């Protein structure tokens, strides 16, 4: 048998091409071209750089947590901040892929806000292994749990479960934020679900290590103890179901923190915890040592093909010049893809059919992937008809569904690049069966078992969001670019529809308003709608895992596939019944 270890397709096929004198390099098409100096480039570049700048400003404020004074108080106790702990925990020179940085942005203003929902979560490399890390930020309301804190913690656990990632909890929390306890405590997706996830992860053989580095109170005390091993930092760590004040109120007993739940008591008397480091730094060292001794079966498996990575043929900075500064304008989506894939080389699937969706096989950082991207250019069909870019037509949905099935058949992970305004509407589209064809694509996405990664790079409207693997369709990771726009429909259409409804309501009560008042009302509606379609609005609610610099897209795909390689196998693909 031929050696397929480096590149199975190439090494297996090359003898055939030699015998038939076919140039092997012609089977791959290089896409993209030089765009600097073109009329739209600089305007696009400037607009998208400005969008990124505004996101980075918000992100920097969020990373500061509760602020400088809160950080000083933490340091005075001999403690590190959540981000300082993570920096020490991950391998030097590696980066931390953060999940949900902007969670809770704009929320809980009456309580002074909760930057990042008071918890830092993401995937880091610890002793050469991808690990999910969840660290309470004690500078934010003493690490108290808000409703969105629970949602974020469960998103982190979901990613860990999907990818079988070892999980490390750095616990430093005062427990539930009591004024909002009714939104945190009793429901299915509330606080208690996390402990259920602890148990599920344990049953799956996913290692969990918890380090108690501050208070760990009430129901929250179960999280570290449902982990495989628990450390507790001497002097700062404490663990109990009820603190001294509650114990005295409940049973009249007076007890100090150390006797009730300190490190010495739990390590020598109750036996609840396993290790007693003297400070944060020693605790981090112990965790790294424990991770370094995981068995080899907990490392990566060769589930997906990877060869030596190559950079794209064009600079990553040019991504800012490829996305139109006006979201209604068409642009050449091939130029964007060319700056994301290795060598800018794409084996395009059905290139001349269903042209408002681009499908093709490529590599990203050496990994073999299938690309499904909305084509934002106005295109002409073989019949000479013009089709609007970013709209999914029947033939586009058919092509994409078939391509997704092909990728599942061949165990090729899928990358979705969303800039979609929805499915085509109108008499011709309905008579052509657009609902049936759209359902076929949604079915293929829903039942896909290979890892899926979604990037919302522009518009993400209506059912187009669903068909292109929006959050409801379980992408392993989903990130937005600063140019993203997420809504049930475009702002102009939605605002005019809402205005029409409002005017009809006024008319029923016998009221009429003049043209100027209508313009003012339309602007108010439009401004409110625009705020809701902003990517910050989505990130605050964890509809996306974050808003990223487009140049980080390749790194995130590569890290995501390294994470996915922790799985034992890819489940069998069964799309069920497809409408024909």
Mapped to the 3 state alphabet, what secondary structure does 246-264 carry? Answer: HHHHHHCCCCCHHHHHEHH
**Is the separation of the CB atoms in 323 and 44 below 8 Å?**
yes
Are 180 and 327 found together in one domain?
A: no
In this predicted structure, what is the pLDDT of residue 300? 58
For residue 375, the tally of other CB atoms under 10 A from its CB is 25
**DSSP-H helix ranges across 483-514:** 491-508
- In this prediction the pTM is 0.91
Are 265 and 372 found together in one domain?
A: no
pLDDT band at 6 (very low <50, low <70, confident <90, very high): very low
Residues pairing with 215 in the sheet: 238
Are 316 and 287 found together in one domain?
A: no
Q: Is the pLDDT of residue 118 over 50?
A: yes
**Domain finish residue from 298, 323, 353:** 298
SS3 422: strand
Are 77 and 203 found together in one domain?
A: yes
DSSP 519: H
Rounded CA gap, 86 and 90, in Å? 6
Are 406 and 273 found together in one domain?
A: no
**Is the separation of the CB atoms in 137 and 66 below 8 Å?**
yes
Are 201 and 315 found together in one domain?
A: no
Rounded CA gap, 105 and 116, in Å? 7
Q: Is the pLDDT of residue 10 over 50?
A: no
- Pairwise pLDDT comparison (246 vs 368), residue with the higher score: 368
The structure tokens listed for 168 are 């490390």
In this predicted structure, what is the pLDDT of residue 509? 83
Q: H or E segment at 554?
A: helix 553-564
Q: Is the pLDDT of residue 385 over 50?
A: yes
**Is the separation of the CB atoms in 415 and 453 below 8 Å?**
yes
What mean pLDDT is predicted for residues 288-314? 87
The structure tokens listed for 156 are 């982190």
What mean pLDDT is predicted for residues 488-508? 73
Rounded CA gap, 129 and 163, in Å? 12
- CA 505 to chain CA centroid, Å, is 40
In this predicted structure, what is the pLDDT of residue 219? 67
Burial of 6 (0-12, 13-18, 19+ CB in 10 A): exposed
The structure tokens listed for 366 are 């050496």
Give percent helix, percent strand, percent coil of the chain, each to the nearest 5. 45, 20, 35
Burial of 316 (0-12, 13-18, 19+ CB in 10 A): middle
- Pairwise pLDDT comparison (396 vs 189), residue with the higher score: 396
What mean pLDDT is predicted for residues 498-517? 78
The structure tokens listed for 315 are 């600079």
pLDDT band at 8 (very low <50, low <70, confident <90, very high): very low
In the block, which residue shows the tokens 């930020």? 137
The structure tokens listed for 298 are 């907990």
Q: Could you give the number of structural domains in the chain?
A: 3
- Does residue 6 form part of some domain? no
What mean pLDDT is predicted for residues 529-553? 94
Of the candidates 453, 452, 458, 461, the residue with the CA atom closest to the CA atom of residue 481 = 458
In this predicted structure, what is the pLDDT of residue 1? 36
Mean pLDDT score of the chain: 89
- Does residue 8 form part of some domain? no
pLDDT band at 483 (very low <50, low <70, confident <90, very high): very high
The structure tokens listed for 177 are 């934020």
Residues pairing with 133 in the sheet: 122, 168
pLDDT in tens, 131-173: 999 999 999 999 988 999 999 999 999 999 999 999 999 999 9
In this predicted structure, what is the pLDDT of residue 350? 96
CA atoms within 13 A on the CB side of 564: 25
Supply the range of the domain harboring residue 168. Answer: 64-298
Are 467 and 514 found together in one domain?
A: no
5-9, 333-337, 450-454, 543-547 — which is least confidently predicted?
Answer: 5-9
- Does residue 400 form part of some domain? yes
pLDDT band at 73 (very low <50, low <70, confident <90, very high): very high
The CATH number of whichever domain residue 268 belongs to comes to: 3.90.226.10
In terms of phi and psi (left: phi > 0; alpha: psi -120 to 50; beta: otherwise), the region of 427 is: alpha
- CA 427 to chain CA centroid, Å, is 37
- Does residue 19 form part of some domain? no
Spatial neighbors of 54 by CB under 8 A, at least 6 apart, are 482
**Is the separation of the CB atoms in 275 and 231 below 8 Å?**
yes
Are 243 and 278 found together in one domain?
A: yes
In this predicted structure, what is the pLDDT of residue 434? 94
In this predicted structure, what is the pLDDT of residue 311? 98
In the block, which residue shows the tokens 């603190």? 243
Spatial neighbors of 433 by CB under 8 A, at least 6 apart, are 394
From residue 440, give the alpha-carbon distance in Å to each of 32, 96, 319, 414, 572: 31, 37, 32, 17, 18
Are 292 and 331 found together in one domain?
A: no
pLDDT in tens, 97-112: 999 999 999 999 998 9
pLDDT in tens, 388-432: 999 999 999 999 999 999 999 999 999 999 999 999 989 999 999
The structure tokens listed for 406 are 């092909």
Read out DSSP for 324-391? -SSTTS---HHHHHHTTSGGGEEEESSTTSSTTEEEEEEEETTEEEEEEEE--S-EE-TTS-EE-TTE
Q: Is the pLDDT of residue 220 over 50?
A: yes
In this predicted structure, what is the pLDDT of residue 25? 36
The structure tokens listed for 52 are 């990124």
Strands 452-461 and 129-136: unpaired
Rounded CA gap, 526 and 518, in Å? 12
- Does residue 411 form part of some domain? yes
Could you give the percent of the chain with pLDDT greater than 90?
70
**Is the separation of the CB atoms in 35 and 338 below 8 Å?**
no
Q: Is the pLDDT of residue 2 over 50?
A: no
**DSSP-H helix ranges across 175-229:** 192-203, 222-225
Q: Is the pLDDT of residue 211 over 50?
A: yes
Rounded CA gap, 255 and 244, in Å? 6
- Does residue 25 form part of some domain? no
pLDDT in tens, 346-355: 999 999 999 9
The structure tokens listed for 387 are 């089709």
As a whole number of Å, the end-to-end CA separation of the chain is 40
In the block, which residue shows the tokens 């130029």? 335
Are 328 and 186 found together in one domain?
A: no
Are 522 and 562 found together in one domain?
A: no
- Does residue 312 form part of some domain? yes
- Does residue 558 form part of some domain? yes
Are 186 and 334 found together in one domain?
A: no
In this predicted structure, what is the pLDDT of residue 247? 81
């Amino acid at each position: 048998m031929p050696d397929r270890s480096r590149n199975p397709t190439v090494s297996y096929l090359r003898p055939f091409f030699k015998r038939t004198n076919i140039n092997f390099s012609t089977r791959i098409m290089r896409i993209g071209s030089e765009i600097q100096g073109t009329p739209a480039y600089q305007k696009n570049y400037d607009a998208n750089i400005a969008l990124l700048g505004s996101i980075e400003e918000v992100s920097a404020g969020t990373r500061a947590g509760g602020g400088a004074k809160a950080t000083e108080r933490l340091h005075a106790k001999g403690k590190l901040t959540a981000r300082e702990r993570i920096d020490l925990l991950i391998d030097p020179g590696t980066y931390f892929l953060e999940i949900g940085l902007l969670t809770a942005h704009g929320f809980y203003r009456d309580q002074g806000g909760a930057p990042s929902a008071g918890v830092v979560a993401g995937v880091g490399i610890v002793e050469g292994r991808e690990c999910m890390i969840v660290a309470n930020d004690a500078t934010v309301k003493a690490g108290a749990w808000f409703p969105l804190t629970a949602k974020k913690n469960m998103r982190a656990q979901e990613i860990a479960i999907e990818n079988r990632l070892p999980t490390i909890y750095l616990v430093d929390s005062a427990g539930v934020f009591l004024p909002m306890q009714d939104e945190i405590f009793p429901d299915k997706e509330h606080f208690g679900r996390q402990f259920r996830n602890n148990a599920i992860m344990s049953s799956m053989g996913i290692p969990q290590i918890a380090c108690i580095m501050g208070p760990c109170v009430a129901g929250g005390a179960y999280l570290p103890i449902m982990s495989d091993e628990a450390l507790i930092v001497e002097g700062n760590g404490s663990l109990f179901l009820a603190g001294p004040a509650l114990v005295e109120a409940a049973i009249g007993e007076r007890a100090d923190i150390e006797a009730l739940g300190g490190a010495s008591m739990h390590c020598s008397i109750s036996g609840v915890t396993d290790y007693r480091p003297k400070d944060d730094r020693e605790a981090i060292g112990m965790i790294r040592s424990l991770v370094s001794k995981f068995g080899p079966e907990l490392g990566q498996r060769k589930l997906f093909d990877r060869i030596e990575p190559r950079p794209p043929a064009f600079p990553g900075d040019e991504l800012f010049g490829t996305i139109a500064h006006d979201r209604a304008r068409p642009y050449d989506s091939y130029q964007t893809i060319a700056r994301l894939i290795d060598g800018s080389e794409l084996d395009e699937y059905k290139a001349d059919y269903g042209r408002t969706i681009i499908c093709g096989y490529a590599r990203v950082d050496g990994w073999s992937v299938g690309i499904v991207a909305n084509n934002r250019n106005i295109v002409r069909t073989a019949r000479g008809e013009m089709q609007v870019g970013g709209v999914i037509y029947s033939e586009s949905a058919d092509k994409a569904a078939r391509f997704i099935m092909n990728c599942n058949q061949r165990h090729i992970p899928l990358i979705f690049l969303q800039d979609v305004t929805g499915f085509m509407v109108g008499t011709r589209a309905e008579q052509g069966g657009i609902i049936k064809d759209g359902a076929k694509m949604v079915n293929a996405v829903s039942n896909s078992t290979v890892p899926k990664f979604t990037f919302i790079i522009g518009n993400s409207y209506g059912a187009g969001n669903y068909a292109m693997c929006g959050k409801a369709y379980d992408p392993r990771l989903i990130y937005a670019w600063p140019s993203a726009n997420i809504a049930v429909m475009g702002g102009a259409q939605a605002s005019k529809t809402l205005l029409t409804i409002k005017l009809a309501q006024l008319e029923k009560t016998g009221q009429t308003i003049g043209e100027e008042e209508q313009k003012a009302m339309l602007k108010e509606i439009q401004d409110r709608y625009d705020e809701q379609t902003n990517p910050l609005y989505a990130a605050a609610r964890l509809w996306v895992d974050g808003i990223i610099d487009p140049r980080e897209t390749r790194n995130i795909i590569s890290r995501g596939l390294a994470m996915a390689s922790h799985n034992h196998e890819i489940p069998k693909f069964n799309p069920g019944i497809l409408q024909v």
